[in-house]
């Protein structure tokens, strides 16, 4: 993968325009890999994301005895499924900081059975998993948190699974429900299984991705609003043969925001009106801020339409892409408020605190709440050295502060530890440079 120096200096850019071919979606990539591993048959996966998080999942599946092959230097893979089982009943798995890998794998290993340990980087051991562990242990799984209760590392042993229903909290991470949905067919061998969500379910569009992909692998989920999900008995995952990973909608947000801030047009290819990803709804927020958006089945294009308008909106449904709106708020005509973003606190870093800290370096006035940010743009952006907190989205977001907007000139920005973008978009800064035209 691309290796960057310890920091990157971005010079002010007069305009953003051009076309970007997006890398594959992380959310889709890791879900598809696990579904292919659990399915009957062989699955050809096209345009899998090349990143740290997918490497973590591929390595874990290999350790579990799942055979996969990469086609030359492409991002096309062939996965031979285990038909609901993992050949290796004992493994020590390093999960990095990949929430999309550790949460569903924990559920799958607990249901399939064996003797497994899962651990990751220091931040992973600070990211909650207790609600998922409790839901699984309540139905007979044997999962122990071997460090701090409710957090990885984990030790999983064979349990005695017995249930017709499971309960899981929905207000911390939608990945807990995703994990239970993905393994529900392994539980529902002879009778249906119902999963009940306790409290509000956040990040609903990610659950839609999960259900859509399960359907592609032959399993139907019956949904009663967002409070319960039923998986009928005797369903099993069967390979669809070939599956294509669409472009990453969260990654698209940086380029679409660039077009909205700095002239445009900027077009992203690989995601569009046919997307199964909720983050495509990011464009609704850009439209609300006054940007011009056009869209086709497999592309989206953005252009500026004068000074961006301030926004006050609930971003619970698109928490990752909402970080990009926080950057667009620097170029708005007044204070913007991002609401219902409490899930930022338990991501790769505490993103509410991190965003507030770094936005202030640029001269913004920022009010930080338990689940909201209020951002008042500065009269003039200040050159700044941005800490990235080993968080890929922090690094990518703050590249946008180098852009000239209609009412604001971009600043010189130093991004520390740019290699953290390898989590989802290893060559991000090279691609960003192709659309950002330096100021004279």
Enzyme catalytic residues: 320
Calpha distance 38→83 (Å, rounded): 5
Token reading at 18: 């051009």
Query: Is the distance from CB of 42 to CB of 79 less than 8 angstroms?
Result: yes
Query: Is the distance from CB of 98 to CB of 390 less than 8 angstroms?
Result: no
CA dihedral of residues 349, 352, 353, 355 (deg, nearest 10)? 90
Calpha distance 244→421 (Å, rounded): 23
For 168-181, the DSSP string reads EE-SS-HHHHHHHH
Strands (E), 95-145: 115-119, 142-145
Ranges of H-type helices in 306-407: 319-328, 351-361, 392-398
Token pair 């042993």 in the structure block, residue? 157
Query: Is the distance from CB of 376 to CB of 351 less than 8 angstroms?
Result: no
> Inter-axis angle of helices 26-38 and 52-63, to 10 degrees?
10
CA distances for 308 relative to 128, 407, 439, angstroms: 37, 9, 20
Total count of residues recorded for the chain: 440
CA distances for 254 relative to 171, 257, 299, 385, angstroms: 27, 5, 14, 19
């Amino acid at each position: 993968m691309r290796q960057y120096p310890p920091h990157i200096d971005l010079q002010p850019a007069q305009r953003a325009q051009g076309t970007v071919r997006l890398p594959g979606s992380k959310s889709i990539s890791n879900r598809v890999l696990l579904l292919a591993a659990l399915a009957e048959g062989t699955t050809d996966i096209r345009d899998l994301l090349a990143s740290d998080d997918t490497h973590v999942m591929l390595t874990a599946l290999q350790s579990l005895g799942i055979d996969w092959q990469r086609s030359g230097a492409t991002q096309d893979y062939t996965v031979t499924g285990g038909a609901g089982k993992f050949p290796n009943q004992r493994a020590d798995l390093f999960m990095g900081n990949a929430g999309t890998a550790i949460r569903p794998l924990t559920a799958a290993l607990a249901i399939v059975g064996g003797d497994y340990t899962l651990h990751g980087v220091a931040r992973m051991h600070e990211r909650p998993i207790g609600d998922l562990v409790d839901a699984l242990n309540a139905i007979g799984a044997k999962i122990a948190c071997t460090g701090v209760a409710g957090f990885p590392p984990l030790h999983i042993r064979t349990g005695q699974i017995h249930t017709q229903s499971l309960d899981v909290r929905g207000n911390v991470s939608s990945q807990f429900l995703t994990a239970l949905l993905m393994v529900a067919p392994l539980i529902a061998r002879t009778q249906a299984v119902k999963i009940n969500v306790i409290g509000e379910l956040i990040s609903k569009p990610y659950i839609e991705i999960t259900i859509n992909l399960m359907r592609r692998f032959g399993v139907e989920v019956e949904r009663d609003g967002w409070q319960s999900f039923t998986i009928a008995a005797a369903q099993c995952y069967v390979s669809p043969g070939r599956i294509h990973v669409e472009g990453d909608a969260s990654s698209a947000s940086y380029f679409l925001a660039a077009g909205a801030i700095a002239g445009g047009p900027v077009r992203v290819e690989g995601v569009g009106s046919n997307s199964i990803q909720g983050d495509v709804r990011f464009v609704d927020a850009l439209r609300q801020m006054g940007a011009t958006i056009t869209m086709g089945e497999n592309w989206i294009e953005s252009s500026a339409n004068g000074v961006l308008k301030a926004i006050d909106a609930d971003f619970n449904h698109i928490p990752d892409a909402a970080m990009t709106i926080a950057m667009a708020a620097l170029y708005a005509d007044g204070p913007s408020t991002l609401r219902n973003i409490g899930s930022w606190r338990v991501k790769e870093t505490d993103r509410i605190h991190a965003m507030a800290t770094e936005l202030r370096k640029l001269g913004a006035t920022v009010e930080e709440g338990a689940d909201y940010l209020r951002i008042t743009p500065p009269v003039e952006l200040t050159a700044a050295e941005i800490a990235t907190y080993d968080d890929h989205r922090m690094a990518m977001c703050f590249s946008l502060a180098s852009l000239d907007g209609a009412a604001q000139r971009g600043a010189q920005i130093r991004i520390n530890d740019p290699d953290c973008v390898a989590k989802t978009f290893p060559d991000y800064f090279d691609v960003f440079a192709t659309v950002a035209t330096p100021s004279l």
